[in-house]
Structures are given as structure tokens and as C-alpha cells.
Amino acid sequence: MTAMAQSDGVGAGPLRGLRVLEFAGIGPAPFACMVLSDMGADVVRIERPDAEAADPRTATSRGRTTARLDLKRDVDRDAARDLAACADVLVEGFRPGVMERLGLGPQDLQAINPGLIFARMTGWGQHGPLAQAAGHDINYIALSGALDAIGPADAAPVVPLNLVGDYGAGAMFLVSGVLAALFERQRSGKGQVLDVAISDATLLLMAPFFSWAARGQWQQGRAGNLLDGGAPHYATYRTSDGGYVAIGALEPKFFRELCRRIGLPGHLHEAQADRRRWPELREAIQAAVAQRSRAEWQELLESTDACVAPVLSLGEVAAHPHHTARGSFVDVAGSPQPAPAPRFSRTPCADPVAAGAQAEDAASVRRRWAQAGQARSAKDRAADSLRQEEDTR
């Protein structure tokens, strides 16, 4: 594995200097804070004193400083409040009302820190009939229509890990919302509350499919459309050794390249757009693919415009030549983890620090953050003064 480019120390990256207070949870909120930390933010995670220590190989907990507080105790709630007074961003994933009952809700904390971005991650949102109901990724994507669209036509919907709801929708929309709120704060000087509901965000991910359905370009049911495995030129096929390859030859020129390279009969080279011929085309592709092993197809097709890739297991991914050439994995606590993404030309991210490697008491964090905030305020005042001088010239 190739290590990532190092910048000028811990906290390198475009978000260096950003102070994020994370209230420990599971799923999308920790993933979002991992992304912010990867990009250089100083993320301090509040955990219960009796919480089990994080396994250093846990990717979603990497890069944090941990402070242990018992939020049932007045003194520890006061300590959390002090940290929030110095933070730029707060991330919490409790049910609606929990933070308010602790005296740590948005009104409480923005009264002492008007610039605080208060990001709230939930499944169903802060209001609505389901706001207080328990749920997980599978429930949220079920209500969005996403789950119904994934899987074979003649069997139950297939659960797509928890990539769609928790991570693709919840975590990444929290990150983009935080960045948007920070951009707006540069103009207003004010923070705001982000109601990040996984159900909302998954609906937005489904926007193209709702549009296609409204135009009559997406039929109900699974595996009957272009991107759900229904199209024979956008599907997976079993190889002679029991492996699989993924074919994504959507454009006509790429489809013709596929047909030529796997040896399909000439009369099928123009069958791509004819749904009536899809069963015949699928059968022909499967018959061709079954003639060789996954490794043989990888060698023959992977670098061509046929749009074919081997379906790799988790244990195989890190060793793929493309990933090794790009340094797409980094070693964290002796195990390979995906490297921070995206990549920045001028402010590259540092290699992540293992989960649980950094611990600090709340008072120490408070002093450190307060000093950093004072230094930044002085710098901002100097920059404002310089801009005003330039404007008057």
C-alpha cells in the first residue's frame, strides 16, 4: 500500500482548524465525522465513561480525540456546554428532544455560541408522525422506494448493505450540509440547525428515478430497467470458475466493443436498444462469459472500453493494481483502510490516526479550542481591516 501524501502535520487538509464536537453514536453520524476528520477537522468525540474502547482498526472512529463525559451529571453537562461554546460544528444523532432534555439543545448552545452549526442526524427527521419511531437504514430506504427497486424480479428486494441510507444519504448529506452552513456563516456570522433526515436524503438520491417514472421511462418492479439489472448490458455474469464480472456497457459504442471482444454473433451487435431481444442477448452474454475464468476476463477486458470489471471480494480489493497505484488504501493500526477522499492538490489530507489513539480530558480540549478560537478571531479581524483599507483606496 502506498501512503498518502503528507502535508504539514496532524490535522492537515482543507478543513484544518475547524472544530467539531461529536456526540458518540452509531452509523451515519460517526461516518460523517470520519470524513470531516479525514479532511483535517479537529473532531472531539464525547463518549460515556463506561463506553468500550474503540478497536483501533475501526475506520469510522478514526482520527478523533475522545473525551469521556457522563451527560447525566451536571458537571459533565457543563463541560460539554463549555466545549460547544468553542466549537464550529456540533454533530448529534439522538432521537428528537434528547439534547433539549439535557440542556444541550440548539437554543441552549447557540445562545452562548451564535455561530455554532448544530447538525442533527436522524432517520425520520425532527418532526413528522415517525419522528420518535425507532428505525435503521433498511426502514428508511424502504419508505423511499429505493429498496423496492433493488433485487431480482422474481424474489424479495435485496438489502444493499447500509450504503444507500446511512452512508450515501445520511452521512454525506450531513457533510455537504455542514459545509454549506459554514459557507453561509462567512457572510452572516450566524450558525444554524441542520435537520438531516436519512429518509429525506434517500428520497433526494432517488430523484432521477422519480423523474423517469413520471415520464414513463421507468417501469414498476425490479430488474426490468436500464440500471436495476434488467438490461443485459448492465448486469453481472458468472464466470467459468464461479466468480463474477460486472458489465456496464451502456453507450452503443461501448456495447459494440463488448460484443466484439467477447465474441457475440453479429446479429446481436444492434440488439442493445430492443427490449424484446434482451432475454436472447442476456443468454448469449452469459454463455460467452462462462467460457473463461474471472481472471482471464480481467486480463482481456479490464483496460478496454468494453466496460467490464471483476467483482472483487473485500479481501481482494486492496491488492488490485489500480488501487495500489493510486495509494487508495492506507495502513491504520496494521490493517488496510480506504484512504481519505477526495484528493486535494494544495491541502492534501494526512494519513488517518487509528481509532482510540487520542484521548484528552474535556478541560484540556476547552483550553486548546479557546486559544485557537482567539487566534482565529484576531486573524479574521486583521483580514477584515486589510480588506477595508483596500476598499477605501
How many Å from the N-terminal Cα to the C-terminal Cα in the chain? 54
User: Residue for cell digits 434488467?
Assistant: 230
Q: How far is CA 179 from CA 30, 46, 112, 173, 217, in A?
A: 16, 22, 22, 10, 35
Q: Give the three cell numbers for residue 195.
A: 435537520
> Of 373, 370, 353, 354, whose CA–CA distance to 362 is shortest?
370
The 8-class DSSP code of residue 167 comes to I
How far, in Å, CA of 328 to CA of 341, rounded? 9
Say if residue 387 is exposed, middle or buried (CB neighbours under 10 Å; 0-12, 13-18, 19+): exposed
Yes or no: say if 59 and 332 are a contact pair by the CB < 8 Å rule: yes
DSSP string, 99-162: HHHTT-SHHHHHTT-TT-EEEEEESS-SSSTTTTS---HHHHHHHHTTGGGSS-TTSPPPP-TT
Torsion 300-305-310-312 (CA) sign? positive
User: Residue for cell digits 460523517?
Assistant: 32
Q: Facing residues of 122 across strands?
A: 197
Active site members: 136, 166
Q: Give the three cell numbers for residue 319.
A: 491488492
